[in-house]
Amino acid sequence: MSDAATTALNELLAGNQRFVRNEPAAQNFIARRQELLAGQQPFAIVLGCSDSRVPPELLFDQGLGDIFVVRTAGQVLEATTIASIEYAVDHLHTPLLMILGHDNCGGVTAAVTHDCRGEGNIGVLFSKILPSLERARKMEVPASEFIEAVTDFNLDYLAEQLFSDSPIIRAAVTEGRCRMVGAKYFLGSGEVKILTPNYQPSD
């Protein structure tokens, strides 16, 4: 495990604790903008949900240039979002990739409620949640826990998808240049919990 990845994860979790306590660090946007004119070197990538209640910069109490963020509803991936992550992994050498889900996710809830059926682009989005819904069904997850289980399984599915669809990310993780972590944000408490500390390809 690279020290840089551990340091990065600790910084995210420390920032989240500041956010939970409502004690954000002071920021000087004027000075930081000038510093960053030379370029960016974010210490973490966060793949998160577009939900307006889950902005990674705020909930990890980070500033300009600190984290490289990719957000889609339900964190679902396609080529351009994977390419965005690849850019940070390969060109910016960012040592940590966090896949961040959250409780009460509207995207996951809608996919489950509609049984992953839908028209047009929404239908495509729902279909990307289908493998996690099928996994929950196969495991006979009780109805009361179903949506949260699908949400959590979706993190594993996204990790698998990144490994299978991105040779760049797969190589970076297996060679220890980037650590991939699965985590979940809780809307009420503001806390982020690590669910999977270190994803590795299963095959």
The binding site for Zn ion (CB under 5 A) comprises 49, 51, 105, 107
Q: State the Cα–Cα distance between residues 123 and 143, nearest whole angstrom.
A: 23
Give the up-direction half-sphere exposure of residue 21: CA atoms within 13 A in the CB hemisphere.
9
Q: What gap in Å lies between CA 56 and CA 190, rounded to an integer?
A: 11
Q: In angstroms, give the least distance from the CB of 201 to Zn ion.
A: 26
CB of 154 to Zn ion, least distance (A): 10
Residue 96 near residue 45, CB atoms below 8 Å: yes
Give least dist CB 28 to Zn ion, A. Answer: 32
Judged by DSSP in three states, 3 sits in helix
Nearer to Zn ion, 95 or 107 (CB): 107
CB of 86 to Zn ion, least distance (A): 23
Question: Hey, is 112 helix, strand or coil?
Answer: helix
Q: Which is nearer to Zn ion, 76 or 89 (CB)?
A: 76
* Positive or negative torsion for Cα 85, 74, 12, 34: positive
- If the CB atoms of residues 71 and 177 are measured against Zn ion, the closer one turns out to be 71
3 state SS of 200 = coil
Complex with Zn ion: residue 42 or 107, whichever CB lies closer:
107
